[in-house]
Structure 1
Amino acid sequence: MTIVIAGAGPTGLTLACELARRGVPCRVVDKAPGLFPGSRGKGLSPRTQEVFDDLGVINSMLADGAPFPKFRMYAGHEIVSDRDISEILGTEPARRTREVPYPGIWLIPQWRTDQLLYERFLDLGGTVDFGVEVTGFDQDGDQVTVHTSAGPIEAGYLVGCDGGRSTVRKSMGVGFAGETFEAERTLIGDVRADGLSGTRCHVFTRDGDITGRFSLWNLPGGDYCQFVATVQAEEVPELTLAAVRGLLRERSGRDDIHLHDLRWISLYQVNARMADRFRTGRVLLAGDAAHVHSSAGGQGLNTSVQDAYNLGWKLAAVWGGAPEEVLDSYEAERMPIAAHVLGVNSALHHLNFRTPPPGTTPAIDQLDITYRDGPLAVDDRREPGRLRAGDRAPDGLLDDGTRLFDVFRGPHFTVLAFAVPGLPDFGPGVRVRQAAKSDGYDLDDGTLVVVRPDGHVGAITHQPETARAYLDRFRPPTAT
């Protein structure tokens, strides 16, 4: 018996790595002949970089990417402005601190993100069956029969990570309510461009009107650029290099930029939609299969990766004998996050490069994601401080200079003991360390902080019995 993951994009491969490093058998299938070839989702949020730190791929991501570029606006040949993302959003520039090791958005084309996650999965002993399409499923209380183009697969669970047109979601029969921007389409692709100066997101207009823009992003790791242009539904051009060249000339009023070597091109309709549930029995949804967004704000890939990160350790715990209620918490925690992100992205889409009014700037670093109101948050202190159960556990240093993220890294739980005499034993799968009060941990002496495998605080308490009971929720009944 195995867990079947439909889709070998960032969501499916993150989930596969999470399961594989815990020794949980999983089989990834994808109807495509190979990994996605384009740059599509290219910005990694600080929180996603932390996820990739835990998965052991962050060094390669940083080596093959680059800091998020400035946005250079043109009116014809004239440079109108040269602003970074913080200036556009009206926020303070991102700065590295002890609690936030990856402060800014990181630019790396999606094809390279997919490749690095795929290589990590292979290193963990996994394989991906390309050219195999999921066509449907049947399930009972004990298993799922996954129907594929290569024949049926008997599985313990099926996770649909198969994109916005998800076959798994459609087979579940769940609703996918939301908004479709009927009047517009987005043209996107990868091309080489001669005549650009500087590493930027080059936003070309003829006369400064950004509603008729053509964007060219310099991509790290080569000389390709990603082009992006919004077009009206009734004015969709052919998906050819000649048509893209013509659109650039029309919108920029320039003929000194030469596009060539079209590598990939796509046209998509902007949607803001979410499934009305993320789980039906032994079948679950993650990523674009569960929610789709406007690309404004770059939250789609990041939210999808974090779906998988939230789901992976819970699915592994239940696979190992933990109660099913652990898996129920996936939808309870991630559905409010997806709904919030839909709102953020839609707001940014409608702002259309205009600076938000003061006090309304949406957060795109995703460091403020919290599960405080979720079913796995336990905080029994009389006077909670800034850090609460459900929040992201900040990075920091132990007294011996060890990074907390180095302590957290791996499939285990962590208990941080703040001036607790005689460290309690919390059983297997738990790493216990003495910690000191810091800016990120405003805690009284005698406090225990349980950090979940996904780097969120599960419990904050002064009682070892409370921490132990919390950890026992994720173990088989015989282990309690």
Structure 2
Amino acid sequence: MTTDTKRGAGPGRRAEAPDVLIVGAGPTGLTLACDLARQGIAVRVLERRTAPHRESRGKGLQAGSFDVFEDLGVAEAVKARGSEGVVLRKYFDGEHIKDTAVDGGLLIGQWQVEEVLRDRLAELGVRVEYGSRLTGIAQDAAGVRADLEDGTVIRAGYLAGCDGGHSTTRGLLGIPFEGSGEEEPAMVLGDVRAPGLSREFWHQWFSSEGGGILLCPMPGTDTFQLQAPPESDERGESLPPSLESFQRLFDRHARMSGIRLAEPTWLSSWRVNVRMATRIREGRAFLAGDAAHVHPIAGGLGMNTGIQDAAALGRSLTAALSGSAGEEALDAYQAERLPVAADLLADTAQRYERVVAAVREPGRGTEAGLE
């Protein structure tokens, strides 16, 4: 059953002037929308993509996220699509060295989490409005005005920018995004098929010459999420991700001649960025998730932190809209989550350094980021 529509279409309650306008339909925005809608708060959710994606992206959920999902009534549906625990199969210079079982979380593709949340949101009478690009924000004492690329104007009580690391909302609000980042990609990623490769393990090949490649089987699919440092050309510049490059990296590090990677459905590059917004409230507008902070991927904390941001922002907006609290409730969101973001950036930077150092040792892998 599909629950997605183009902007402005679909059944259910449509709030032309919603209490809260949410920009971005990733895990953060969808969690916030479900939380508010289940309490009778009128929401609209805008997404600049023209349709849902099917990219694995963030692939791990932790206990804190399930506390939120229990309240939303989606915890069991999410668990049914994922896999609890994973065995890391570590190789070094092509030789199998060690298997390590990692427990305590759920392996699941980000697109699958989003699908469950969209279904729940549809049950609450709200559909994601795809193809909606935000171009302007204005505020007054009564609320927020959002201008869209097609000329549509939406008035709302509050606005939540959950639109990722390249947040349009953050830019329109003029909020600095401070920190550091690298120009060259540290990793290429993709979703690929690997016929003949066991799906019982998260395969992690590393080499004494440096570099490596990881293939993680994504539950409920026949694909693996691939991660590897990028290839370089003759000038030392990073090559863009491609199936051909993935195969060369696999052949170099895995040394399994019978495996041919196939059917890439997602190709991406990742750069090390450690940045956070200097503030996550601007009057009646707020930032959450990657729009508020970006950090190294070690430890798999990104999607989980965004879900926690959404829960905290939902509490603040609900208190303000119910009349049980005023400005202090809105201030509480920033007071609670900005220190969390600062700690997250420091923590994940250290985790990333541990992983980079650990994989030079035979038998060690990404579990170093969980220590």
Q: Secondary structure at the match of 1:194?
A: coil
Distance 1:29 1:13 in 2: 10
Give the equivalent residue in structure 1 for 2:263: 261
Amino acid of the structure 1 residue aligned with 2:256: R
Which residue of 30, 33, 40 corresponds with 2:50? 33
Give the equivalent residue in structure 1 for 2:346: 343
Unaligned runs of 5+ in 2: 1-16, 360-366
**What are the equivalent positions in structure 2 for 1:465-480 lying under 5 Å apart?**
none
Amino acid of the structure 2 residue aligned with 1:347: Q
Q: Secondary structure at the match of 1:105?
A: strand
Amino acid of the structure 2 residue aligned with 1:155: A
Give yes or no for contact 1:296–1:348 (8 Å, CA) kept in 2: yes
**What are the equivalent positions in structure 2 for 1:10-29 lying under 5 Å apart?**
10-29=27-46
Amino acid of the structure 2 residue aligned with 1:350: E
| 1:195 positional shift | 2.8
Give the equivalent residue in structure 1 for 2:320: 318
Give yes or no for contact 1:138–1:146 (8 Å, CA) kept in 2: yes
Give the equivalent residue in structure 2 for 1:453: none
Give the equivalent residue in structure 1 for 2:362: none
Give yes or no for contact 1:185–1:232 (8 Å, CA) kept in 2: no
Give the equivalent residue in structure 2 for 1:111: 111
Amino acid of the structure 2 residue aligned with 1:318: A
Give the equivalent residue in structure 2 for 1:195: 196
- Computing the radius of gyration from Cα coordinates, the structure with the larger value is 1
Distance 2:211 2:344 in 1: 26
Distance 2:63 2:166 in 1: 28
> How many percent of aligned residue pairs carry the same amino acid?
40
Give yes or no for contact 1:196–1:257 (8 Å, CA) kept in 2: yes
Give the equivalent residue in structure 1 for 2:219: 220
Give the equivalent residue in structure 2 for 1:75: 92
Amino acid of the structure 1 residue aligned with 2:353: H
Amino acid of the structure 2 residue aligned with 1:279: R
Give yes or no for contact 2:351–2:370 (8 Å, CA) kept in 1: no
Distance 1:201 1:178 in 2: 32
1:104-162 per-residue CA deviation (whole Å, 9 max, x = no partner) reads 11101011000000100111111111001111201112111101123111111111000
Q: TM-score, normalised by structure 2?
A: 0.87
Distance 2:196 2:231 in 1: 27
| 1:305 positional shift | 0.6
Give yes or no for contact 2:299–2:369 (8 Å, CA) kept in 1: no
Distance 1:134 1:201 in 2: 39
Amino acid of the structure 2 residue aligned with 1:120: R
Amino acid of the structure 2 residue aligned with 1:135: T
Give yes or no for contact 2:289–2:309 (8 Å, CA) kept in 1: yes
After superposing the two structures, state which structure 1 stretch, 180-189 or 256-265, moved more: 180-189
Give the equivalent residue in structure 2 for 1:186: 187
Q: Secondary structure at the match of 2:155?
A: strand
Instruction: Choose between structure 1 and 2 for higher RCO, CA contacts under 8 A separated by at least 6 residues.
Output: 2
Q: TM-score, normalised by structure 1?
A: 0.68
| 1:364 positional shift | 5.9
Unaligned runs of 5+ in 1: 86-93, 95-103, 366-480
After superposing the two structures, state which structure 1 stretch, 164-173 or 240-249, moved more: 240-249
Residue correspondences, number:
342
Two-structure CA RMSD over aligned residues (Å):
2.1
| 1:327 positional shift | 1.1
Which residue of 330, 341, 365 corresponds with 2:333? 330
Give yes or no for contact 1:192–1:225 (8 Å, CA) kept in 2: yes
Distance 1:222 1:137 in 2: 40
Distance 2:52 2:199 in 1: 30
| 1:62 positional shift | 1.2
Give the equivalent residue in structure 2 for 1:167: 168
Give yes or no for contact 1:294–1:346 (8 Å, CA) kept in 2: yes
